[in-house]
Structure 1
């Protein structure tokens, strides 16, 4: 099994990933997928009339990036941005590694320097411990620049992540290791006069935490499953089964670009599961865990993850995939703010 810590996934996803066996994997085409109830569908339209128009407010959006330096022989940097809400408005936090404590960027515009080794919490700065285990070297010093003064947000999405008018840029070892926002390229050109190379940067995971006040609400996210690939809209919803369908109980729907990719019925029995769909000709594993939603008191969260496989991976969670996991979209849904 793969080391879950290397996938930059939340603990709830790590817990249920090991419960999914190869026997549960099935391949379906997104354009004409076969649901578990053997009902062939072409569009994502819920039995509830409110699903298409109702959306869930987003508590936070966390995006993790992997940056491979071009010149320095160092392990890839793993950077994390978290967009959230506060009584004063949207917030932004930055973490220079998966294990680092996030730094809240309180000013709307500014810069900050992070010294070498500040992300690991290891006072020894790498090397080895008493057991002889080799620890990775600390990341290089990092300079962070951001400007959210003109950031614009989508009022319909109720998301703390801006859609335009901003930039977040990080530089390490004289290379740009992060450039997020529509104004990032302009800032880099003006700040460094275009004389600085860009590291190979790719998003690793995107975690969206939402509150589902309406049981029939639909949450949508726009992602790219492959670097340089087309953008897709992924929507997740849970609604009562249609009358006369024979399914009974609630159903989980996962749709890609308006086409139903997954339909899981009888969720109180099938509260964990997975299927495989093809997006842009490549396999994407869809996994869900609704145990905390149904059976914990107070209720926990429901987790739905879509994870792209890389060229190295022929089935779910291969050991060879630890070094370079495919992109993951994780939706964590709560009945009330945690």
Structure 2
């Protein structure tokens, strides 16, 4: 199932649904972030995908309407990433949209996302619709956009993480919220009774024992005073291919939607990973809080 905007086609960068691939050969080192924005008063979704492979870093920016229909996109493929700064003009909602990027001084960690020294800006009608990175002054100077407060809201993130028994990432559970160190730990090699542990900033928030019986499930944790529902599916780690992946979803709620979301039953186990994708789509289209989906691949 292709559960990201359809504009990321065959030649673009896209997240493979974990249910369709069972080995790390199909895993891509990428991070995809979705922002809810407004262009000419109309709601849209801007999807920014950072990728990394043997040919280098890659960047893709797509703009979709509220129904997840692609309006326009720009792809900077890894083998062309030597052009670390530039711009491209697109058109949507009957107006010109300019996408600017400068990654010439960007610093990267082990993942595909830059840590600092960069900007990516989306400008429409001389308004900065979305601005990412720490080089804000340089971005406004280059784009000539009016420096007004952005109304962009960070609504979703997908990421592939890799490890042997420890998988880590940075997690931000609400727009402009605190950035946390999120650790998932699970040793399944030579262990009779594996245990799943999730830590936030070094503090254990949940522990699942007898994992062979509880390889799929959900649990509520509290983060920054918010309820965060954690869904997990580690079937592939325990019973699938040796290089299979697990999938985790961390879901926050808007107060008005929490009861509706939590009341939805967990579906048949055979369709659970599809359910993660569908719930992610619902989060984007209905603005049901923030969703973080992690595909965890074991390096043997």
Tell me the TM-score normalised to structure 1 length: 0.66
1:1-338 correspondence runs (5 A):
59-69=29-39, 72-74=40-42, 76-97=43-64, 98-100=68-70, 103-105=74-76, 106=80, 107-116=83-92, 140-154=95-109, 158-183=110-135, 185-193=136-144, 195-212=146-163, 214=164, 216=165, 218-239=166-187, 249-297=193-241, 300-315=244-259, 317=261, 323-335=286-298
Secondary structure of 1:188 counterpart:
helix
Q: Which has the larger radius of gyration?
A: 1
1:236/1:254 contact within 8 Å kept? yes
Q: Which has the higher helix share?
A: 2
DSSP-derived class of the 2:231 partner? strand
Query: By how many angstroms is 1:268 displaced?
Result: 2.3
CA distance, structure 1, for counterparts of residue 55 and residue 254 of structure 2: 41
Structure 2: how far apart are the matches of 1:112 and 1:309? 36
Counterparts of 1:298 and 1:188 in 2: how far apart (Å)? 45
The Cα of 1:224 is off from its aligned counterpart by: 2.1
Q: CA deviation at 1:5?
A: 7.8
What residue is the counterpart of 1:39 in the other structure?
none
* CA distance in structure 2 between the partners assigned to 1:281 and 1:186 by the alignment: 33
For structure 1, which runs of at least 5 residues remain unmatched after alignment?
A: 16-56, 117-137
CA distance in 1, matches of 2:157, 2:188: 28
3-state secondary structure, aligned to 2:138? helix
Higher mean C-alpha deviation, range 313-322 or range 227-236: 313-322
Query: Which whole-Å CA distance do the structure 2 matches of 1:14 and 1:284 have between them?
Result: 24
Once the 2 structures are TM-superposed, how far is the Cα of residue 251 of structure 1 from its aligned partner? 1.4
What is the TM-score of this pair, normalised by structure 2?
Answer: 0.73
How many residue pairs were aligned?
A: 256
Gaps of 5+ in 2: 6-14, 21-26, 265-281
Deviation at 1:197, TM superposition (A): 3.3
* 1:147 Cα deviation from its structure 2 partner: 0.9
Per the alignment, do residues 13 and 226 of structure 1 end up closer, same or farther by CA in structure 2, a change over 3 Å counting? farther
- Quick check: which one's strand share is greater? 2
Give the structure, 1 or 2, with the largest relative contact order (CA under 8 Å, sep 6 or more).
1
* CA spacing shift, 1:235–1:312, aligned 2, 3 Å: same
For residues 4-41 of structure 1, the C-alpha deviation after alignment (integer angstroms, 9 at most, x for no partner) is 989xxx785899xxxxxxxxxxxxxxxxxxxxxxxxxx
| Aligned counterparts of 2:177 and 2:63: Cα–Cα separation in 1 | 26
Give the 3-state SS of the residue equivalent to 2:107 in structure 1: coil
**Runs of 4+ with deviation above 6 angstroms:** 318-321
Cα shift at 1:240: 5.4
